[in-house]
Structure 1
Amino acid sequence: MRIPVRPPQTVNPEFVLQSGHANDVASVAFSPDGRQVLTGSSDNTAKLRDADSGRQLSTLQGHSSVVTSVAFSPNGRQVVTRRLAGD
């Protein structure tokens, strides 16, 4: 029996993480399907991007301090963020 093996898809994290945020990136999460990247930053925002192109899809604002944690729901349709003081 032959099982075809595909090389893993890779993302160039440099361009995804180095653009868009005004300050350092503090947290990163990939969507369950690997198609999106969510980053949290010390600029008090979280940004959703296309993992392949790095294109910004959305900016989540309203945190009053560093976005220390970001995550996707198991189905990838929702995100959650947490700021330094606990929001």
Structure 2
Amino acid sequence: MASLNQIDEQNKKVATSVLGAVIVAIQAIGNAFPVKQKAGSYRLLQAQASNLLIDVQYVENTEELKNISSQFRQLSIEAAKVETQ
């Protein structure tokens, strides 16, 4: 019985160490790659791109198309800025 308790204790220690290492690794990844901070920016860019795609369907003249094209270029610049943050 004593050896079973020792094994359980050893397994608990190993499991605790492994879980601790996993948590530290996740935190390090979160700090190295700030996905959470960028997620809001990406959602905003995606919504703006979706709006432009909808607008393109209802273009009535070349001036509107040029305007949408300009907005798309600006959106691409904003996406690049988010990537560099």
When you count helix as a share of all residues, which structure comes out higher?
Answer: 2
Q: Which has the higher contact order (CA 8 A, sep 6+)?
A: 2
Larger Rg: 2
Determine if the TM-score, normalized by the shorter chain, exceeds 0.5. no
The TM-score with structure 1 as length reference comes to: 0.23
When you count strand as a share of all residues, which structure comes out higher?
Answer: 1
The TM-score with structure 2 as length reference comes to: 0.24
